């Protein structure tokens, strides 16, 4: 049995910080920061875990006794082993006990930014307020001057922000956890900075770990308790007795499993160069293990008896599981990319070598709509411990493609009616796919009632019908090898349907469109490959002829159970006589599925630091525009530099003059003096309105000056004074320019 210790990790940055993506934005910045789907800065879990591991290794070295490596072994327990850096005889890799997540701004803050609003400040202003740009140059060591063409602009996240996440330390239920907690708490105290340029003042951070014991308590355990041995790799439990499962009756569509992607899901589709690619679906093999607690029976027994099927989770299209695009539906390469007119090559058509099927799209089973899965792209780097930067030896920069957050996927669960299912146990958050222990793989699973599918029809002898392969299909030939030929598929279908069928006459049409797919498996425990699986690709289709009649009940059984091998994990799914393949020239609407957010139930709450920064930016931009147009309405052309300097002094004193008595005194002295005529009574009246109105007055004239009307979301008194200073200060700068005074 395993248990988990929840950890609430927080990072508060006391200076600007830069967790970069390895590239810049043309015409803007040379080095950009990592941002989430909202455009807000965050700390990737890989970055946070990496910096904590380095610090934990320092702590372990300090705690070790001479000739011992027991604390180093505990580092591997918490953070996992590093087989790529191991030397000598290969050992079994150890997974990390620490399950992490990216550190993001508070959910209330993100909800406030995403919420629709009326007023001056927009969501784009708030997003921009999270970033600052710092300029720099390289100094020549000999001349002590800036080197030519070394000017750079580096984007950073604003100081004062706090990012948080919920982590979990997984361990055996009855195990001692204080060594792991001590390493984590010590590491959090050791880390003082994070990210790029941290040796030059950037990234100053304070890390908190709520949920762990206090350092003093852990230190007492260290002083007074013998260090226990590290936990075993896996929790060993006695095998459960084989359950007798009542599996009478055919498979029924019992439930739909709806997966909402919360963090990018990487379903490994191979590596090309430094890019880890992803499939656009979640295989049933990743969903099948999730059923163990929900079924309450021996899952292995159900699999052996063919009494459970979990299909691949594909894109949800209008509340229905989307099917892989059929290879027989094609459009001309000369047509517009968004065309809704297609040719079904299973029907008679004019031969056209430029016909091509859609790629990476999913089709509604009835054929009216199609959609594509959004793919996210995330960059990471392997940091060399010595050089503290990516190197070619460590692998350098690499890219993960993943199913984008907000994507909704749907799988189907088939069970006999006699098997009990507890949906409440299955629902909730799960981690699936590659790198699911940190930045990827978090999904929210809901169990819903299945939709009503159309009943199949009887197929008379001599009739033709279509077969649509909707998942990888694994068929073995007589010698035990994988068979991907049309003859092998037809033979398997004949056996499953209990009828004699053949490929239809191809005259004037194409009757076979089969693709081949190779799936590479991976043994996670040992880090070794599994045997490859070669099968007929999803989206394949063929037109068959029934030599004997086929009963619709038999068709329903085959469509529920699948054909070939490994059907429990979703292989071998087929649709017979699907409506999507019934039309010779179908019209299919391309409709992209909108992402589902994760902030719908969160009460918005502004972050004062970000809101103040956004207001300052908006006020400054408005002041620049207003000053250029209305400078002479406030400052006469004949004013001397000394007179303008007096006004500048008054502006500098506004923060220390909350009741504006100092401004009123200065205006009164100007009106009594000889310069009153130079200032002009109208200008003095306008200045009086700006300088003497109390900053907490909701009708302060500076807002009308800058924005036309008093904004509904006007800020506090401090920013009111700032607005007066910026507006009049910019007018003073314009008035003192030589070309203006001339």
- Please tell me the chain's helix, strand, coil percentages from 3-state DSSP, rounded to the nearest 5: 30, 25, 45
Q: Give the sign of the dihedral formed by CA 281, CA 285, CA 286, CA 292.
A: positive
Q: Give the pLDDT score at 619.
A: 93
Q: Give the pLDDT score at 197.
A: 86
Q: Are 208 and 188 spatial neighbours (Cβ–Cβ below 8 Å)?
A: yes
Number of H helices, E strands in the chain: 20, 34
DSSP state of 535: E
DSSP state of 82: -
Q: Give the sign of the dihedral formed by CA 620, CA 626, CA 632, CA 635.
A: negative
Q: How many CB atoms within 10 Å of residue 741?
A: 13
For the chain, which domains are there? 2-224 (no CATH), 251-325+360-448 (3.30.70), 463-582 (2.60.40.4350), 608-740 (no CATH)
Classify burial at 692, counting beta carbons within 10 Å of its beta carbon; exposed 0-12, middle 13-18, buried 19 or more: middle
Classify burial at 682, counting beta carbons within 10 Å of its beta carbon; exposed 0-12, middle 13-18, buried 19 or more: exposed
Residues of the chain with pLDDT under 70: 86-90, 234-248, 296-297, 524-527, 739-742
The helix (run of H) or strand (run of E) holding residue 56 is helix 45-63
Name the nearest CA neighbour of 655 among 707, 722, 598. 722
Q: Are 511 and 486 spatial neighbours (Cβ–Cβ below 8 Å)?
A: no
DSSP state of 612: H
Residue that the structure tokens 């800020």 belong to:
715
φ, ψ dihedrals at 258, nearest 5°: -100, 120
Name the nearest CA neighbour of 566 among 536, 524, 529. 536
What are the distances in angstroms from CA 463 to CA 495, 498, 505, 557, 740? 18, 16, 12, 20, 90
How many residues can be counted in the chain? 742
| Structure token digits, residue 255 | 């439930």
Q: Give the pLDDT score at 354.
A: 79
What are the distances in angstroms from CA 734 to CA 158, 652, 739? 30, 17, 9
User: How remote is the C-alpha of 127 from its chain's centroid?
Assistant: 17
Q: Give the pLDDT score at 248.
A: 62
Q: Give the pLDDT score at 233.
A: 72
Q: Are 263 and 269 spatial neighbours (Cβ–Cβ below 8 Å)?
A: no
CA–CA separation, 661 and 667 (whole Å) = 10
User: How remote is the C-alpha of 678 from its chain's centroid?
Assistant: 62
CA–CA separation, 287 and 445 (whole Å) = 10
- For 2-49, give the secondary structure using H, E and C: EEEEEEEEEEEECCCECCECCCCECCCECECECECCCCCECECHHHHH
φ, ψ dihedrals at 643, nearest 5°: -65, -40
CA–CA separation, 14 and 631 (whole Å) = 39
DSSP state of 262: S
Q: Give the pLDDT score at 244.
A: 54
- For 626-694, give the secondary structure using H, E and C: HHHHHHHHHCCCCCCHHHHHHHHHHHHCHHHCCCCHHHHHHHHHHHHCCCHHHHCHHHHHHHHHHHHCC
CA–CA separation, 276 and 435 (whole Å) = 11
Angle formed by the axes of helices 661-672 and 641-652, nearest 10°:
160
Q: Are 152 and 134 spatial neighbours (Cβ–Cβ below 8 Å)?
A: no
Residues in CB range of 516: below 8 A, 6 or more apart = 484, 534, 535, 536, 537
φ, ψ dihedrals at 288, nearest 5°: -60, -45
Residue that the structure tokens 């997540």 belong to:
101
């Amino acid at each position: 049995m395993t248990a988990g210790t929840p950890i609430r990790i927080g990072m508060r940055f006391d200076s600007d910080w830069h967790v970069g993506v390895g590239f810049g934005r043309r015409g803007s910045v040379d080095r950009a920061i990592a941002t989430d789907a909202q455009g807000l800065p965050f700390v990737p879990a890989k970055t946070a875990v990496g910096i904590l591991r380095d610090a934990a290794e320092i702590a372990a070295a300090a705690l070790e006794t001479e000739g011992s490596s027991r604390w180093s072994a505990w580092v591997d327990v918490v953070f996992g082993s590093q087989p790529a850096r191991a030397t000598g005889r290969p050992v079994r890799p150890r997974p990390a006990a620490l399950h992490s997540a990216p550190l993001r701004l508070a959910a209330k803050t993100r909800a406030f930014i995403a919420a629709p609003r009326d007023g001056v400040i927009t969501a784009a202003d708030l997003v921009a307020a999270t970033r600052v740009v710092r300029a720099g140059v390289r100094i020549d060591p000999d001349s002590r001057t800036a080197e030519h063409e070394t000017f750079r602009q580096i984007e950073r996240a604003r100081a004062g922000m706090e990012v948080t996440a919920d982590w979990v330390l997984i361990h055996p239920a009855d195990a001692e956890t204080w060594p792991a907690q001590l390493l984590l708490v010590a590491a959090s105290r050791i880390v003082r900075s994070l990210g790029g340029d941290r040796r030059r003042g950037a990234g100053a951070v304070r890390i908190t770990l709520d949920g762990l014991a206090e350092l003093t308590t852990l230190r007492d355990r260290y002083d007074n308790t013998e260090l226990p041995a590290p936990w075993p790799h896996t929790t060993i439990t006695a095998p459960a007795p084989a359950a007798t499962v009542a599996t009478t009756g055919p498979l029924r569509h019992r439930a739909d499993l709806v997966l909402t992607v919360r963090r990018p899901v990487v379903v490994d589709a191979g590596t090309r160069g430094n890019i880890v690619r992803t499939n656009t679906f979640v295989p049933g093999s990743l969903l099948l293990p999730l059923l163990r607690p929900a079924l309450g029976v021996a899952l292995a027994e159900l699999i052996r008896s063919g009494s459970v099927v979990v299909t691949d989770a594909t894109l949800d299209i209008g509340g229905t599981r989307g099917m892989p695009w059929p290879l027989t539906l094609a459009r001309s390469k000369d047509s517009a990319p968004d065309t809704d007119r297609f040719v079904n090559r299973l029907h008679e058509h004019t031969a056209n070598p430029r016909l091509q099927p859609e790629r990476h799209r999913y089709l509604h089973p009835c054929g009216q709509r199609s959609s594509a899965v959004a793919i996210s792209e995330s960059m990471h780097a392997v940091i060399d411990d010595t050089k503290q930067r990516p190197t070619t030896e460590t692998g350098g920069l690499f890219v993960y493609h993943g199913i984008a957050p907000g994507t909704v996927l749907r799988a189907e669960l088939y069970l006999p009616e006699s098997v009990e299912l507890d949906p409440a146990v299955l629902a909730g958050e799960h981690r699936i796919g590659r790198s699911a222990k940190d930045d990827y793989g978090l999904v929210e699973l809901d169990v819903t009632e299945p939709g009503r599918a159309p009943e199949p029809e009887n197929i008379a002898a001599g009739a033709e019908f279509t077969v649509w392969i909707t998942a990888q299909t694994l068929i073995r030939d007589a010698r035990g090898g994988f068979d991907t030929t049309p003859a092998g598929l037809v033979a398997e279908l004949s056996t499953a349907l209990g009828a004699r069928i053949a490929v239809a006459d191809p005259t004037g049409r194409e009757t076979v469109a089969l693709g081949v797919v190779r799936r590479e498996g991976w043994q996670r425990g040992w880090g070794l490959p599994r045997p490859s699986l070669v099968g007929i690709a999803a989206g394949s289709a063929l037109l068959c002829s029934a030599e004997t009649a086929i009963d619709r009940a038999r068709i329903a059984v085959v469509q529920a159970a699948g054909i070939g091998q490994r059907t429990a994990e979703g292989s071998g799914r087929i649709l017979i006589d699907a409506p999507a393949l019934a039309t010779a020239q179908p019209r299919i609407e391309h409709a992209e599925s909108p992402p589902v957010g994760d902030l719908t139930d969160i009460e918005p709450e502004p972050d004062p630091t970000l809101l103040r920064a956004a207001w300052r930016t908006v006020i400054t931009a408005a002041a620049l525009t207003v000053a250029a147009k209305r400078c002479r309405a406030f400052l006469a052309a004949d004013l001397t530099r000394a007179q303008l300097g007096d006004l500048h002094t008054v502006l500098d004193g506004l923060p220390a003059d909350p009741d504006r008595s100092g401004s009123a005194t200065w205006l009164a002295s100007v009106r009594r003096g000889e310069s009153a005529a130079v200032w002009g009574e109208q200008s003095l009246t306008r200045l009086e309105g700006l300088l003497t109105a109390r900053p907490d007055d909701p009708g302060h004239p500076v807002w009308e000056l800058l924005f036309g009307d008093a904004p509904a979301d006007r800020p506090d008194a401090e920013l009111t004074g700032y607005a007066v200073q910026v507006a009049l200060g910019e007018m003073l700068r314009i008035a003192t320019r030589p070309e203006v005074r001339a």
